Amino acid sequence: MIAISDNDQKIIAFLIKNYASRFTTREIGLKLKISPAGSYKSLKKMEKGGIVVAEKLGTGLFYDINLRKTSAFHLACFVASTDEKDVKELSELTRLVLKHQNGILVVTGHHSLEQAKAAAAKIFKEDKLGVMSDDEFVSGILSRDNHISGMIQSGTILFGSEFLIKALQRRAR
């Protein structure tokens, strides 16, 4: 069992948000304002614990979360859910609520898009709303859609971090 530091959590959150891109240990460190040696040490520790996996391309090592491992999956869910808000009214109608630069994205499950949009409009009055089905969202993740990956990169998960991690897990298979 390994202890997860604040830097480790920052790195995991970074890898979740930037699932569609590849970054070396140095780039991760610079983006997160962690020394490259510190990010390397954290990534190596997490790789040894099976939380991340490294892929060597040329001379660079590129890291991703090992979502095939149960402990890494739950850790990713925990890290992604640290900013979740209480949106009880939407929890039964939606799978994911994501606040991004341009507004709010609501991903619905089996309920109608209009029903979910109406409920979200009551909560997020001043924000621009976007609604999509869970199938559309997952297919966007699988195809590394620029629009969806940009929203995840710049956004905050208000509800549904486990759904997001499960969608990323499907991409990893």
Q: If the chain, 173 residues long, is cut into consecutive pieces of 10 residues, what is the mean pLDDT of each piece?
A: 84 90 90 92 92 88 89 86 68 84 83 79 80 89 88 86 87 66
CATH annotation of 6-80: 1.10.10.10
Q: Could you tell me the pTM of the whole model?
A: 0.76
The span from the CA of 156 to the CA of 82, in Å, is 10
Residue with tokens 């390397």: 40
Q: Which residues contact 97 (CB under 8 A, 6 or more apart)?
A: 87, 90, 104, 105, 106, 107, 120, 157, 158, 159, 160
The span from the CA of 108 to the CA of 95, in Å, is 5
Contact criterion met (CB below 8 Å) for 43 and 11: yes
Residue with tokens 């520790």: 45
Contact criterion met (CB below 8 Å) for 165 and 77: yes
- Give the start-to-end residue ranges of the domains of the chain: 6-80, 84-172
pLDDT at 173: 55
Would you state the torsion angle of the CA atoms of residues 24, 30, 35, 37, taken in this order, to the nearest 10 degrees? 10
Tokens linked to 60: 């660079």
